[in-house]
Amino acid sequence: MTKLNGESTVNTMTRSHRALALATAAAALIALAGCSADGGGGGGGDAACAPEDITFVGQVRNETNPYEKSWLDGGQEFATSVELEQKRLTYDGESPKQLEQIRQELSTGNPECMVLNVLTNTDADTTPVVKAAQDAGAYVVTQWNKPADLHPWDGYDKWIAHITYDGKDSGYQIAVALFESMGGKGGVIALQGQAANVTAENRFAGLEQALSEYPDIELLDQQAADWDRTKAFDTTGTLLTKHGDAIGGVWAANDDMALGAYKALEAASRTDVGVVGIDAVPEAVQAIADGTMVATVSSDGPWQGGIGLAMGYCALTGELDVADLPNENREFFAEQVLITTENSADYLTPKANLADFECGKLFDRVAGPLE
């Protein structure tokens, strides 16, 4: 093979042959650079984006919920680390508003250099969200809610991953912690999340599992409080009036409702009632440290807010090939941890660990496939 650096046969080459060889080498280098930049991350041969041209969008229900605020804060921490900004969207638990916001973002700027990290409102909202992103050419990561028969690998090369948590396990863990704090007997009330929400349903299934293992614990009542602190305050007050001293514990499907329940208990001077929740928001973790709440479960909001953006960033900059990802990295349960008085000090200040967002570590927290 003729060498291009002129060490052996170049002296026998004609001028025309030399020019042809150099042109061929240049074309090869350009092609190689293009392949390296794209890295297959687009899954369909889309050109990579310059880092400075990438747009980040994080979307949650609201920022009054400390957990969801910590999600967007984590997204901004990652964005800042790569010298970009994250647009913060909130849809107030309104599904039509969620989709309209996403469509509006996709219609502006350059969607092919956009990354969406989305907390879908209900299972039914995931399909229109990912289809809108797919049609526009934007990368999207969804979290928490989706239909069981909808998968990122079913024709969605722009839907990088769906991340959720084993709700049954977290609901079970906090229930056991609550029941143990009650000495294994007494009455409890349950505050559920939204209706038709798989996360709420799975967490309640965990409570039911724990109840089957603690025959001396009675579920006195259950009400949906829609993940909302104010509604949980009102609902708990009503249930206190109805069940009185029979209530020995409050199981809440998230920390915002747990904190609302605690305020209602405080207003009724019921300091004898244990409360548990899920999400590890700072106020709840502090309450656990202070002994006024029993337990919560951390899904690490700042990590959730950053990881979806990091996945898209790595794909757009050619360091992640979505087409080559195994199914277990495109739809998975992520790790979570039970927080009690014993370990609460380690979780008082939620903050993203930027090392988690390195392209080679994106899937280090995969706990297992969805069941």
Extract the residue ranges of the chain whose pLDDT is less than 70: 1-47
Q: What angle do CA 229, 233, 238 make, to 5 degrees?
A: 145
Q: What is the pLDDT of residues 22-78, one digit of tens each?
A: 333 333 333 333 333 333 333 334 547 999 999 999 999 999 988 899 999 999 999
User: What is d(CA 156, CA 151) in angstroms, rounded to the nearest whole number?
Assistant: 8
Q: pTM for the full model?
A: 0.76
- In a 10 Å sphere around its CB, with 0-12 CB exposed, 13-18 middle and 19+ buried, how is residue 159 labelled? buried
- List Cβ neighbours of 226 (8 Å cut-off, separation of 6 or more): 93, 193, 194
pLDDT for the residue numbered 40 = 35
CB 250 within 8 A of CB 236: yes
CB 194 within 8 A of CB 200: yes
Q: Which residue has the tokens 């959730």?
A: 304
How many alpha carbons fall within 13 Å on the CB side of residue 241? Answer: 5
- For 237-268, letters b (16+ CB in 10 Å) and e give bebbeeeeeebbbbbbbbbbbbbbbbbbbeee
- DSSP label of 88: E
User: What is d(CA 162, CA 156) in angstroms, rounded to the nearest whole number?
Assistant: 12
pLDDT for the residue numbered 196 = 76
Q: Which domains does the chain have, with CATH numbers?
A: 51-165+301-335+352-369 (3.40.50.2300), 167-298 (3.40.50.2300)
pLDDT for the residue numbered 12 = 32
pLDDT for the residue numbered 198 = 82
User: What is d(CA 201, CA 349) in angstroms, rounded to the nearest whole number?
Assistant: 29
